[in-house]
Chains A and B, each alone.
Chain A
Amino acid sequence: MSTAITEPVVPYDEVIAEFDPVLGLEVHVELGTATKMFCGCPTEFGAEPNTQTCPTCLGLPGSLPVVNAIGVESAIRIGLALNCSIAEWCRFARKNYFYPDMPKNFQTSQYDEPICFNGYLDVEVETDDGMRTFRVEIERAHMEEDTGKTSHQGGATGRIHGADYSLVDYNRAGIPLIEIVTKPITGTGKYAPEVAKAYVTALREILRGLGVSDVKMEQGSLRCDANVSLRPSPESPLGTRTETKNVNSLRSVERSVRYEMTRQAAILRAGNKVMQETRHWHEDTGVTTSGRPKSDADDYRYFPEPDLVPIAPSREWVEQLRAALPENPSVLRARVQAAWGISDFEMMAVVKAGALELVAATVAAGADQAAARKWWVGEVTRIANERGVELVDLPITPVDIARVEAMVGAGALNDKLARQVIEAVLAGEGSPDDVVATRGLAVVSDDGPLLEAIDAALAEAPDVAEKILSGKLAAAGAIVGAVMKATRGQADAARVRELLLERLGVAE
């Protein structure tokens, strides 16, 4: 439920004509480590509330943190993949503020000594002049711990105001997070929303490739806060920014940035000042609403965490980790494109759909690359868009698609039936084989039933039969259509036509 406050906005092309946007993206990634950042509790998603806790992650008096070495290793690998420098020596710091879902009332984080700093990520965006690369500079990537999760019970809205009481689940408290912060992203002009989306997409791809996180935006294992500001021209000083939270899909990244630009433009155009604040994105209404005021003077009273010793990753270790990094996704793309022998345009369609890995996995599962691309970029992307989710989050796997394609290749399914199978798999009816078996969706390949249907159709339309016999072969389509209808699409249309002409003794 979002509050229906409609703020004035300016049409997007007018925003671009009058203002220069500047972005800043903060991404929080939940690491997929087996245990939490500072204790040995498991991190599995979806357990009963407060069952994955101990004195340390509950912040009980006397408890102490111990650093998860895998968490540090993941942070370094992420930094290396983002072309960052890795600190030779760094510390954790306490970020002090009171909140009930934070057990110690301080978050163990990093402040002025992040483990990774000064990196960049190149992202590709389709512009009016073709593909263009934008370099997003990364200021830092640092380690911290997640908070618990508060849910407000009773009341009408499920929000804190009007709730009868609140419950806190500390299972998430202490799960390792890496916060990746960009430097101000300038020079994007009208492509700012696309660059924002491309950055998060590319980042997600890299993180998935590293295997450090399941990067599911919907489950919150990848969370993005988008800072947006406008200024009159690229030469002007930075304008006042807002920070939009609750942006939990790639589509929302693009939409929320675009919306925020149009909203801020309306404020500036009216001669007013943008308020520095956090804003909440509402996927349903496509607007942001005001959160809490935020100022640069927010005082978290950071100081070095005295319960932990400094981290000094040896250069040998860092180089070992660098050498073992998986192939960079952009290098991978170039290699795959060459192997498949497809055009830039075809490749871009795959990348834009976020389907590269899925297509590659489908090919690996035995499908032809063209067929694999056709399904993922076409039918499956269409369904993902309909549902407003990402391809990878649909409940269908590359193996499923490869199986469907194999059945098409073997003539067991036609195109239409294949679509039905895919839809059924997505509806949770089981594997493609399950669907075919339970729905009885096989192409009718036995000529007997087809001949019966052809005879019936011919009897229904003797005039059409006459036309065909007189050599007007185009009329055959009507009979084929009738047969397809009678077999509920389960026939192979080409075979029907063949049998029909044979039946009438007419040659092609």
Chain B
Amino acid sequence: MSDLIRLTAAETAAAVASGAASAVEVAQAHLDRISEVDERVHAFLHVDTEGALAAAAAVDSARAAGATLSPLAGVPLALKDVMTQKGIPTTCGSRILEGWRPPYDSTVTARLKAAGVVILGKTNMDEFAMGSSTEHSAYGPTHNPWDLDRIPGGSGGGSAAAVAAFEAPLAIGTDTGGSIRQPAAVTGTVGVKPTYGAVSRYGLVALASSLDQAGPCARTVLDAALLHATIAGHDPLDSTSFDGPVPDVVGAALRADVQGMRIGVVKELSGEGYQAGVQQRFDEAVALLTGMGAEVVEVSCPNFPYALAAYYLILPSECSSNLAKFDGMRFGLRVGEDDGDPSVEQVMGRTRAAGFGAEAIRRIMLGTYALSAGYYDAYYGQAQKVRTLIARDFAAAFEQVDVLISPTAPTTAFKLGEKLDDPLAMYLNDVATIPANLAGIPGMSLPAGLAPEDGLPVGLQIMAPAMADDRLYNVGAALEAALLSNWGRPILQEAPSL
């Protein structure tokens, strides 16, 4: 095996299962790659060399003992630093959690471990998943492997960049308003936000509880499906977890047939604000789908223009409450307890002022205000009504079509620092991804090509009804195959070598 890091997850698992490569070799190859390139990419906040090699060795011994390996056994993975992993630093990209080692595994972590997935380390992210560029990490930004001066998207820029830079074939992301899909779009990778409730949130450090959803990051649709199938399923520890069968996402990815499907193009997610090259690649993909026998129609979702405003009331409201626990009393950073004779409130205040970055403070303040007596109805209450309207838009659209499609992000990757001082411009990056979170439906982003004007990846988004995640994989895999045959080789091979 000459280039273990270039294999897909499915190929890696097959190699480990057949004995063509050992899991330890695979893990070591990726650890070496991380050593080689991560100084420039900065996808990882923590690399768990020892743990990864031990986990890989366990897979090898299980195989030697004749055990049946699970479909992803021995495949390395990068875990977004918002997921707890027992004994491993978990910072959420924030200073306030510096040094905290959780005493427990998130359900996703536990399922990965049980499946023999080799967790390489924790990936960089915007602080508490607030951002679209990973520039809001307290530990410095992640760089886009396509152009190190550009952002890798956010908040899960670390996970997407790790996959794009061949540091890991798989990664876990979390998506509150696009944090899996938008980074996938701008790094030329595949990212899926499953239906809300499909993947347990237990051990996912909450940003906005009613929107957060963990999901797979990968280089192919099939790899994403394999990871999806590994982490999804009911969890009694999460009351909002869906208690029902997981759709057959792997089967759907293998089927890859859109013949006779009805596909809707969302009218409101195009036009003004969408980069020409993004729109062009999107339109070409629509033509491909039509060519494969799908019926593509335009669908209107009239309330989508209000989605961003509603999102930026609901998210900060929930976040202001979720982040209250970070007060220096029980874990993480504590600031200023020896300075004078401070009261408990003063230590809490000093810790929070020193521990949270500007974006976190901005959203905590917005949310605190929106939930205040006298403002609740006008802000939070109203936003919830908009949320209902958006869900109705989707419901109406899915009466007409099987899936909806749009560009994932309005533009390709922008330069580091370009939008850092303009929060509204930053927020607009998620305009196409936010509606799915508000309605709890699943969405996928997959590469649609490179924008002619800047040569950077463009993402196409597919959205399906709740618990019909399999449709994403079916349509995604079909489109992926058609694009691949046009390009002649996977898009990531166009990326500059690091």
Contacts and interface: CB of A to CB of B under 8 A. Distances in A.
Contacts of A301: 320-321, 368, 371-373, 376
A187 interface: no
A67 interface: yes
A42 interface: no
B236 to A, nearest CB: 7
A250 B348 CA distance: 38
B327 interface: yes
B344 A306 contact: no
A64 to B, nearest CB: 5
Interface stretch (A54-62, A71-79, A139-147, A324-332): A54-62
B373 A96 contact: no
A303 B380 contact: yes
B371 A98 contact: no
Contact of B373 (A55, A105, A297): A297
Interface in A62-103: 62-67, 94, 96, 98, 100, 103
Interface string B306-319: 00000000000110
A61 B329 CA distance: 13
- Max chain B CB contacts within 10 Å: which of A67, A98, A302, A303? A303
Nearest to B238: A64
Contact of A166 (B321, B325, B344, B368): B344
Nearest to A168: B329
Contact of A64 (B210, B237, B373, B376): B237
A366 B16 CA distance: 77
Interface in A295-315: 297, 299, 301-303, 306-309
B344 A103 contact: no
Contacts of A98: 324, 327, 345, 348
A282 interface: no
B327 A62 contact: no
Q: What secondary structure prevails in chain A residues at the interface with B? A: loop
Contacts of A299: 372-373
Nearest to B94: A61
B239 A62 contact: no
Given A106-B321, A307-B209, A309-B239, A62 B100 contact: no
Contact of B104 (A60, A67, A303): A60
B368 A62 contact: no
Interface in B323-367: 324-327, 329-331, 344-345, 348
Interface stretch (B20-28, B199-207, B225-233, B444-452): B199-207
A328 to B, nearest CB: 35
A297 B374 CA distance: 10
Interface in B376-390: 376, 380
A62 B206 contact: yes
Contacts of A63: 104, 202-203
A62 B203 contact: yes
Given A59-B325, A96-B324, A297-B373, A308 B239 contact: yes
A306 B318 contact: yes
A63 B84 CA distance: 9
B204 A303 contact: no
B408 interface: no
Given A61-B331, A98-B327, A303 B321 contact: yes
Q: What secondary structure prevails in chain B residues at the interface with A? A: loop
A301 B364 CA distance: 13
How many A residues are at the interface, by size bracket?
A: 20 to 34
B106 interface: yes
- Max chain A CB contacts within 10 Å: which of B97, B204, B205, B329? B329
- Max chain B CB contacts within 10 Å: which of A60, A166, A309? A60
A96 B371 contact: yes
Given A106-B324, A309-B240, A59 B330 contact: yes
B490 interface: no
B106 A62 contact: yes
Contacts of A303: 317-318, 321, 371, 376, 380
B102 interface: yes
A297 B373 CA distance: 8
B102 A60 contact: yes
A144 to B, nearest CB: 15
A302 B377 CA distance: 11
B83 interface: yes
- Max chain A CB contacts within 10 Å: which of B102, B203, B324, B368? B324
B103 interface: yes
B330 A103 contact: yes
Given A60-B331, A62-B205, A306-B210, A100 B84 contact: no
B92 interface: yes
Contact of B83 (A62, A67, A302): A62
A253 to B, nearest CB: 31
Contact of B239 (A60, A61, A64, A103): A64
A265 B348 CA distance: 41
A302 B205 CA distance: 21
A59 B320 CA distance: 15
B98 to A, nearest CB: 13
Interface in B57-95: 83-84, 90, 92
A306 B204 CA distance: 14
Contacts of B106: 62
Interface string A96-135: 1010100111100000000000000000000000000000
B202 A64 contact: yes
Nearest to A96: B321
Contact of B92 (A58, A61, A100, A105): A61
A63 B324 CA distance: 14
A306 B239 contact: no
Contacts of A64: 201-202, 237-239
Interface of B: 83-84, 90, 92, 97, 100, 102-104, 106, 201-206, 208-210, 236-240, 317-318, 320-321, 324-327, 329-331, 344-345, 348, 368, 371-373, 376, 380
The 3 closest A-B pairs by CB, nearest first: A105-B324, A306-B209, A301-B371
Interface of A: 55, 58-67, 94, 96, 98, 100, 103-106, 166, 168, 297, 299, 301-303, 306-309
27 contacts: A55-B102, A55-B103, A60-B102, A61-B92, A61-B97, A61-B102, A61-B331, A62-B102, A62-B106, A63-B203, A64-B201, A64-B237, A65-B239, A66-B237, A66-B238, A94-B321, A98-B327, A100-B327, A105-B324, A297-B373, A299-B373, A301-B320, A303-B318, A303-B321, A306-B210, A307-B209, A307-B239
Given A64-B238, A307-B240, A308-B240, 5 more contacts: A55-B102, A60-B103, A63-B104, A105-B325, A301-B371
